[in-house]
Homo-oligomer: A and B are copies of this chain.
Amino acid sequence: MAASCDGDRWFQLYIVERQAAWDMIRRALETGYSTLVVTVDVAVNGLRERDIRNGFGMPLRYTPRILLDGALHPHWTLNLLRHGMPQLANFVTARSRDAHSQAALLKRQMDASFDWDALRQIRDLWPRRLLVKGLLNPQDASRAIALGADGVIVSNHGGRQLDSAPSPMTVLDAMVAAAKGAPVLVDSGFRRGADVVKALAMGASAILIGRPLLYGMAAAGGDGVDAVIAILRDEVDRTLAQIGCPEIGLLSRDFIMPAAPI
């Protein structure tokens, strides 16, 4: 994968089994990835009830309900059929080629023993940029940085795993403070340019976009992804202009006004 893409390549890792994980890290190193993202927010997969109720799993089963959705959104169905099911790239590479065995793999409990010591070992294995993804607690951010992480990604996994998790925006301030200057990236729920501008103004180094890109891809393939990015970029520009900020690098907390009672 990495070899065929341009620019800066990131490798995202879940620790399902430690030994398999260390193997993947070494392969990522060999194939030239610049950044390793270790996600720590779903040590155990959340039970996604909607999926269960709709008969959606992996591999996809064609229940009447899903076919109906297809009928209503012909573009999506067409693309799913043409491009095949999306696959979890790493697992495909590392283990097997068909979606069925991936699902089996994911269904096994992820390694519940993942802990700070595992992070330390990863730091030893991986000399390049290391980000810890899925943190929401300032103390965890401090600790990850102290253990040698180059930055953190504040994320509640798009609210898809633990519905009681706080929204990244509500903890961003504390996370930026805890990171003491190390980069703080953030994702989950960013949908408009104004969302992006707010997070940057509060001190985030970058914002990651999840489902909007997937939706764009499902609807229109690569062109759809490009369209989503273009919309967001345009919205960011307009928002900057409207708040009177001449360039994105000048965003700061001065542009944020706390909600004030009358």
Residues of A that sit less than 8 Å from B by CB = 40-47, 109-110, 112-113, 115, 136-137, 139-140, 161-166, 169-174, 194, 198, 202, 234-235, 237-239, 241-244, 246, 254, 256-262
Contact = CB atoms under 8 A, between A and B. Distances in A.
Number of copies: 4
Contact of A242 (B162, B166, B202, B244): B162
A112 B241 contact: yes
A235 B137 CA distance: 22
A86 to B, nearest CB: 23
Nearest to A243: B162
Contacts of A173: 260, 262
Nearest to A238: B44
A260 B171 contact: yes
A18 to B, nearest CB: 15
Contacts of A165: 242
B40 A262 contact: no
A257 B44 contact: no
Q: Is the interface of A mostly helix, strand, loop or mixed?
A: loop
Nearest to A257: B166
Contacts of A254: 139
A242 B42 contact: yes
A64 to B, nearest CB: 21
Contact of A258 (B44, B239, B261): B261
B170 A259 contact: yes
B44 A260 contact: no
Contacts of A237: 44
Given A237-B44, A238-B44, A241-B43, A261 B170 contact: yes
A47 B242 contact: no
A169 B262 contact: yes
Contact of A238 (B47, B136, B235): B47
20 contacts: A40-B244, A41-B242, A42-B241, A42-B242, A43-B241, A43-B242, A44-B242, A46-B238, A47-B238, A109-B241, A115-B246, A137-B257, A163-B194, A164-B198, A164-B239, A170-B260, A170-B261, A171-B257, A174-B260, A259-B262
A110 B244 CA distance: 12
Contacts of A246: 112-113, 115
